[in-house]
Chains A and B, each alone.
Chain A
Amino acid sequence: MKALQWQGVNKLAVGEVPDPELRNPGDMIVKVGKTVTCGSDLHLLGGYIPFMEKGDVLGHEFLGEVVEVGPDVHKHRVGDRVVVSSFIACGSCWYCDQKLFSLCDNGNTNPAITETLWGHAPGGCFGYSHAMGGNAGSHAEYVRVPFADVGAFAVPDEVSDERALFASDSASTGWMGADLGGVKPGDVVAVWGAGAVGQMAARAAVLLGADRVIVIDRLDNRLQQVEKFIGAETLNYERTDVSGELRERSGGRGPDVCIEAVGMEAHSPGPQFAFDQLKQQLRLQTDRPTAVRDAIHACRKGGSVFVLGVYAGFVDKFPLGALMNKGLTVRGAQMHGQRYIPMLLERMAAGELTTEHLATHVMPLDQAPEGYRIFKEKEDGCVRAVFTP
């Protein structure tokens, strides 16, 4: 079959790979209908997560049709239209029982790597390096879905492919940031990053009853989407003093919940950016934490900061003093898709959550390397490139 493969740092190509096989009785094979770029892939592409092998298939946000099921799959049948959580979880361990699915004890076949790196191993993910299990991703004609009864969800007829697709990763991630960040009615919520993840976090905050939701980015086309489709306010950090504006828009208190949806390749307008970039290039820090720093600084006393952006290693100039003295709660997580996807599909069916506008570029899988180039450069207003294998 055809698949988009990582061939080296910043090198992608569409190649021929063997079709996936059922390996465990709970597996199924999905014929990929739509599969989409994610900001997380950029960290792999640029070599910031150094556990890729030449030939690895990328992609973890997808939807498709069931074509083969293992004997232990009971929820799905051949022909079903399903959306699949990007993180792979067993559904039976203590973490899954706590609905912390991305922390599953049994979903990663290579726990040694992340256990050594971070002390404990999270679960597995599609197309996200050998540290996350080395599972071939969804930018292919077919994909193996382990623990299919746990991670795959039938899409209701009234929800289009274009909408349901994003329940797979960006919408569940965004929802998690607002939910576990503790957004309540009456809150002021600030979101850093107006990519698909930040937009979905902002929409979740709106739906959870926040009083004001403010999204921060520098790309005008994305901020316009936020105003038009998400129903939130915006700030362009290249043109405004974000910290002053946030203070003013929250009556001097600072936002109650700050959600960071930028990640380790953050950009910043000041001289600090050159410093962070240099340190990252010299590998004195592995990640650039600009947006996390800003979120901690802006957050109200006793407020909460949720880190959705992906980080791999160590950061410099982490504002521990502000965190401690302001009594903040800082949390982060990879997405617990299995916890949110059924609810998100219901909200999508009810028209509360729309995502079609995120798919700014739709193209055949053959053009995926070009799709990633446009997505990475944020060219031509690209928010997400969707591939149709």
Chain B
Amino acid sequence: MSRTGKLLLIAVPVVAGAAVAARRRRVPGAGEQRRRHVVTVFRPLAELQAEPLPGSLKEIADDVEITLSAAPGGRGTEIAVRIPEGSSVSSGDVRRALRETRSLIEVGDVLLPYGPPTTVPTLLNRPLQTATRHGREGGLL
């Protein structure tokens, strides 16, 4: 078997297994875009309420509903975002905004990928390169 074939054979079951696991948890109506996304930020509620939320969450704030509530056990503040019917904002936009905003609040900065890149695009790594270009938009958040 070629090396390429071998790598694909490896990648497929790891990712497919995770997809199966994720699918099992889904309720009927799967495939629809999720409308609610929540993240916990390790800062007290009062601190977050004192100033407008920073970063890309501010940019989409007019098109979504944002609720702040204290997380239990001193874990900080839960930032919940609901995408209303008809909003132009996507789940990917919200995930990225929540992750970037959490980092801005906790660290004061958002980690940028390594650069300049040392990799070269190939047929094999094109899907991975596409995924990492949108690294903060995907996932389950």
Residues of A within 8 A of B (CB): 3, 5, 8-11, 17-18, 20-21, 23-26, 47-48, 50-57, 72, 90-94, 97, 105-113, 115-121, 124, 130, 133-136, 144, 146-147, 283-284, 286, 312-314
Contacts and interface: CB of A to CB of B under 8 A. Distances in A.
Given A109-B113, A110-B132, A113-B131, A3 B118 contact: yes
A315 to B, nearest CB: 11
Nearest to B5: A9
B11 A106 contact: no
Given A8-B4, A20-B114, A124-B111, 18 more contacts: A5-B118, A8-B3, A9-B3, A18-B116, A21-B115, A50-B14, A57-B118, A90-B111, A93-B42, A94-B76, A111-B141, A112-B95, A113-B132, A116-B18, A116-B19, A136-B118, A284-B13, A312-B14
A116 B140 contact: yes
B106 interface: yes
Contacts of B95: 112
A17 B120 CA distance: 11
Interface of B: 3-4, 6-7, 9-15, 17-19, 22, 40, 42, 75-76, 95, 99, 102-103, 106-107, 109-120, 122, 124-125, 128-129, 131-132, 134-141
Given A24-B112, A56-B119, A112 B137 contact: yes
A140 to B, nearest CB: 8
Contact of B138 (A25, A112, A119, A286): A112
The 7 closest A-B CB pairs, nearest first, are A112-B138, A115-B139, A50-B11, A110-B135, A55-B119, A112-B139, A17-B118
Contacts of B131: 110, 112-113, 130
Contact of B114 (A8, A115, A144, A312): A144
A126 B125 CA distance: 19
A318 to B, nearest CB: 14
Contact of B18 (A26, A118, A124): A118
A116 B22 contact: yes
A133 B115 CA distance: 12
B41 to A, nearest CB: 8
A124 B132 CA distance: 13
A312 B14 CA distance: 8
Given A3-B118, A23-B112, A283-B10, A112 B135 contact: yes
A56 B113 CA distance: 13
A284 B133 CA distance: 30
A24 B115 CA distance: 11
A50 B10 contact: yes
Contact of A94 (B4, B42, B129, B132): B42
B17 to A, nearest CB: 5
Contacts of B115: 20-21, 23
Contacts of B13: 283-284, 286, 313-314
Nearest to B12: A283
Contact of B111 (A20, A24, A112, A113): A24
Given A111-B135, A112-B135, A112-B138, A90 B107 contact: yes
Given A93-B106, A111-B136, A53 B129 contact: yes
A284 B14 CA distance: 10
Nearest to B125: A53
A133 B128 contact: no
Nearest to B109: A24
B7 A146 contact: no
A25 B112 contact: no
21 contacts: A5-B118, A10-B3, A24-B110, A24-B112, A51-B128, A56-B119, A105-B106, A110-B135, A111-B135, A111-B139, A112-B134, A112-B135, A115-B139, A116-B15, A116-B18, A116-B19, A117-B18, A136-B114, A283-B13, A286-B13, A313-B18
B111 A146 contact: yes
Contacts of B42: 92-94, 97
Contact of B75 (A23, A94, A130): A94
Given A113-B131, A283-B13, A55 B107 contact: no
